A and B are shown apart, each in its own frame.
Chain A
């Protein structure tokens, strides 16, 4: 079983759509959880941390279910600028190393 698995994508949506990405992880002792965004030929950048209680940042909502080892990201009112690859990221048990999913590509069109 891969350590972090994501929806393969790509997701092609119109502007204004709501889109959800899912992710599962295998290490139940993982400490930290994040969503990173990576634009084409650029470095990954933190989009948001993910907390057990769920958290929201503007149009973005992240959820964590530790019992199911499941993470989600919801993007509301999609913008053209949201087009990117979204990486689900989980720390190892010590919280030191990050394990990255392969990413899900989102393409938002007008």
Chain B
């Protein structure tokens, strides 16, 4: 019962480098999400995806790129990392249902702690 896994768990990189954070879920959930969590801001949505090949911007998408070629994977790429992107990144997934609203529950991965030096 793997659920939702993120890799790497910890990453240190330098400004200007490209970094990709991986997210994989085994539930076949249609929706997947990327958040960042910073002190004083709480969890903020970066991007989300409703299905394979369908992605949409969240609250703070600038500097990030996502793709979803397969339902189970939703990688997040920082094209040119900046110090302001130092954060904890969480991936989440949900089944999503308009009628059964409890299916809007999101399940989170363990997070990736990213430091940009």
Number of residues on chain B facing chain A (CB within 8 A): 23
Report the interface size class on chain A.
10 to 19
The answer to whether B105 and A95 have CB atoms under 8 Å apart is no
Asked if A95 contacts B42 (CB within 8 A), the reply is no
Considering the chains assembled together, what is the distance between the CA atoms of A87 and B31 in angstroms? Answer: 21
Does A80 lie at the interface of the complex (its beta carbon under 8 Å from any beta carbon of B)? Answer: no
Total A-B Cβ pairs within 8 A: 50
Q: A96-B50, A97-B33 are in contact. Are A44 and B43 (CB under 8 A)?
A: yes
Quick check: is B22 within 8 A (CB to CB) of the other chain? no
Contact surface of B with A, Cβ cutoff 8 Å: 31, 33, 40-43, 45, 48, 50, 58, 90, 96, 98, 101-102, 104-111
Return 21 A-B CB contacts under 8 Å, by A number: A31-B104, A42-B111, A43-B108, A43-B109, A44-B43, A44-B90, A45-B108, A49-B101, A91-B104, A95-B98, A95-B101, A96-B31, A96-B104, A97-B33, A97-B45, A98-B45, A98-B104, A98-B106, A100-B42, A100-B43, A103-B42
